[in-house]
Amino acid sequence: MSARRSLLRRLLVPGRMASPGGLLRIAAAFALVYLVVHLLGWRQYTGFLSGTAPPVGSMESGMARGLVYVAAYLGFVLLVPILVLAAAIMALVLRALRLLADR
């Protein structure tokens, strides 16, 4: 249990999240969540958006799975590119600031 806490603490330390590596870790987490729900086949449950009943299971579980898939998809499509670009820009700015400081 303490190993899990220390891992979470290392990943969620605010100072580390505001760095290019931290932004890339967040982007990777979004991509991993999307990959998992896509491999689980939860895309078929997004039919609730058009009022279609889920193919298998109860309406509530199908809607929940569809909602999780839509959230993961939107996070992957909207947030991951923004986070990757922000990490690249931040890395370039930090490198430029270091070069200016060395002068």
Domains of the chain: total:
1
Residue 14 has pLDDT above 80, yes or no: no
d(CA 103, CA 93): 16
List the domain range (segments joined by +) for residue 66: 2-102
Which pLDDT tens digit goes with each residue over 34-83? Answer: 999 999 999 988 888 887 877 777 888 888 899 999 999 999 999 999 99
The predicted structure's pLDDT at residue 10: 63
The predicted structure's pLDDT at residue 5: 64
| Alpha helix positions (H), 1-103 | 2-12, 14-17, 20-39, 59-74, 80-102
Which pLDDT tens digit goes with each residue over 22-43? Answer: 999 999 999 999 999 999 999 9
